[in-house]
């Protein structure tokens, strides 16, 4: 059997990982991220295998290990150099609007945004480079061990985690936080920013409970 970063494996291989990616893909489809390019999840599986799922609601059998291209190739190159096992890129409406602002950092103004205080970065210069250059540059940006998300300027948001459940929960929370922030900005009033100690004191979300609910809906 061929073994390599994107080797073709039997569908039974890495079945729990494939099931998790299938659930994430189904969630993306249900949340309007089913168009090509709107959602891409990559997961380090057994050995050197990287599994890839788009947002079309693919079942576990359809989760591939084929080499991605374009942005996916850059993400795959970055995934090989970071501690996280899962990277998810998406273009949900609020995160995409945030990525279009000249100042795209998310301030801690609510429990969701507090989760990303000092734990997200902005990459205003993504694109236009070959994957072998873009991947290491992006990996360096994500190098801090507590990084949960990266706003990809004019593109969307990238979330990461040790499992699919964590990366997907981060995406869900980031999108909610971005929506709260944009609505608050639209009032024209000054923002009430949480001090660092309060932003850091919030409870951690239960990513596994969230993902269990996702699986109950998607049937995975």
Task: Kindly list the domain boundaries of the chain, sorted by start residue.
Answer: 15-218
Per-residue model confidence (pLDDT) at position 7: 46
Mean predicted confidence (pLDDT) in 93-99: 97
The angle, 0 to 180 degrees and rounded to 10, between the axes of the packed helices 71-79 and 131-141 is: 50
**What's the DSSP call for residue 205?**
P
Query: Looking at residue 127, what is its pLDDT?
Result: 76
Distance CA 34, CA 129 (A): 26
The number of beta carbons lying within 10 Å of the beta carbon of residue 150 is 24
Strands of the sheet containing 39-44, edge to edge, are 50-54, 39-44, 86-90, 156-161, 149-152, 120-123
Q: What is the pLDDT of residue 48?
A: 76
Query: Which of 6-15, 50-59, 109-118 has the highest average model confidence (pLDDT)?
Result: 109-118
Q: Which CATH superfamily is domain 15-218 in?
A: Class II aldolase/adducin N-terminal domain (3.40.225.10)
Q: What is the mean pLDDT of residues 177-191?
A: 98
The band of 9, judged by pLDDT with boundaries at 50, 70 and 90, is: very low
- Please give the model's pTM, rounded to 2 decimal places: 0.92
Residue 69 CB coordination number (10 Å) = 10
Maximum distance among all alpha carbons in the chain?
A: 61
pLDDT score of 3: 41
- Report whether pLDDT(70) > 90: no
Q: What percent of the chain has pLDDT over 90?
A: 73
């Amino acid at each position: 059997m061929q073994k390599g970063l994107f080797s073709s494996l039997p569908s039974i291989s890495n079945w729990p990982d494939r099931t998790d990616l299938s659930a994430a893909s189904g969630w993306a489809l249900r949340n309007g991220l089913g168009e090509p390019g709107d959602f891409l999840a990559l997961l380090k599986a057994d050995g050197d295998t990287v599994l890839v799922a788009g947002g079309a609601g693919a079942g576990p059998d359809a989760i591939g290990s084929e080499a991605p291209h374009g942005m996916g190739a850059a993400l795959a190159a970055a995934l090989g150099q970071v501690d996280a096992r899962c990277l998810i890129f998406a273009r949900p409406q609020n995160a995409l609007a945030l990525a279009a602002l000249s100042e795209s950092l998310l301030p801690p103004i609510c429990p969701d945004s507090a989760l990303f205080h000092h734990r997200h970065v902005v990459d205003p210069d993504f694109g236009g480079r070959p994957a072998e250059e873009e991947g290491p540059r992006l990996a360096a940006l994500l190098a801090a061990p507590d990084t949960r998300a990266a706003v990809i300027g004019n593109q969307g948001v990238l979330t990461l985690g040790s499992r699919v459940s964590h990366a997907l929960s981060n995406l869900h929370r980031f999108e909610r936080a971005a929506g709260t922030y944009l609505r608050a900005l639209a009032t024209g009033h000054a923002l009430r920013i949480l001090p660092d100690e309060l932003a850091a004191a919030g409870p951690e979300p239960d990513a596994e409970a969230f993902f269990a609910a996702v699986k109950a809906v998607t049937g995975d």
